[in-house]
Amino acid sequence: MSNKIKVVNNILISASLIMVTTITLLATSILTPVTHSLAQDQSLTNQTPVGGIDLIILDVNASAPEDRNIYTVIGQVLNNDTVPFNGVRVSATLYDNDGQSLVERSAYTSPSGIQPGSNASFNINIFGTSINDGIDTISNFTLQVTGDRQAQLFQ
């Protein structure tokens, strides 16, 4: 077999492998949703994951400035996994002293996609007008983080 024919055969084999690899990648890149819940008092920080889920809520702080009718929950989400997460969203449910749910609000992290080992911030604003008796009735809240875990492409 001549060198030109060997080169053409190698190119055809390489192109076939690339097509098979691409099809395999498309078939295995199914998004896996992940959910992690975390109960909070108003300013707990440095939380650890529950049940091995790899999105960790950190550095949480909540405040209600006196001059504004708004309750703000801020913090960070750490991707403690080896693959990226997309569409990472943090939800806050606020409760009164009796444990009754007052309101739930959520926001995407910024950025909404988090690479392995990276953090993204979140900022959830709850306006007092959305709570029947106003911001003063809030005694605690829970946070929940969800995201689409990207499938690992190669092993």
Q: What residue ranges do the domains of the chain occupy?
A: 1-30, 31-149
Cα 57 from Cα 76, distance rounded (Å):
6
Cα 27 from Cα 155, distance rounded (Å):
15
* Tens of pLDDT, residues 99-148: 999 999 999 999 999 999 999 999 999 988 788 788 888 999 999 999 99
Of 6-20, 43-57, 99-113, 131-145, the least confident: 6-20
* Tens of pLDDT, residues 24-36: 233 223 333 444 3
Burial class (CB in 10 A: 0-12, 13-18, 19+), 78: buried
Burial class (CB in 10 A: 0-12, 13-18, 19+), 59: middle
Cα 69 from Cα 79, distance rounded (Å):
33
Q: Higher pLDDT residue, 9 or 56?
A: 56
Cα 96 from Cα 133, distance rounded (Å):
10
Across the range 91-106, mean pLDDT stands at: 94
Polymer length of the chain:
155
Q: Position 20: which residue type?
A: V
Most confident of 2-6, 47-51, 80-84: 80-84
Class of domain 31-149: mainly beta
pLDDT value for 42:
38
Across the range 20-49, mean pLDDT stands at: 36
pLDDT value for 98:
92
